Amino acid sequence: MKISLVRHGESEANVGYFINDDPTKPVHLTPKGRAQAEALAAELSNEQFTHAYVSEFPRAQETLNILLRGKTLQIQIDPRLNERKSGMDGQPVNVFNDQVKQNPLHFKTPEGESFIEQMQRLREFLDDIATRHPDAQVVAVAHENPILVRWV
């Protein structure tokens, strides 16, 4: 399996420096984010994707829709690709980041998940699609943490 793991384009939360970890609260791409997705779509235009996955978040779905424009690929929404659940939706990003610094891998709020827990659910996603689609060329649009992690 070959997977292209893509982070969504710039979103309203990115420029507003606030947390959006609730997919039912729509936060969309900015004009810059749409332009980023358009540029990536041009770069990936020759890729022959066989499967497409995306998180539940509108900004990720908007990015994937731009990437797949003109293609007839069924999009599968998978919550395992979701943003890290911080338990601090709507709060400034720096408030969460200041707390995470104390224990970056294991910190979590009572309503949130740790970085390790998020990576475990992403690993489950990757293992699952590798098993189901061993010869596939997959595109998956997610969020920052899965892109930063080096998967082996």
Catalytic residues: 8, 83
- The beta strand positions in the chain, using DSSP E, are 2-7, 51-54, 75-77, 137-142
How far is the C-alpha of 6 from the C-alpha of 126, rounded, in Å? Answer: 14
How far is the C-alpha of 95 from the C-alpha of 73, rounded, in Å? Answer: 39
How far is the C-alpha of 90 from the C-alpha of 22, rounded, in Å? Answer: 9
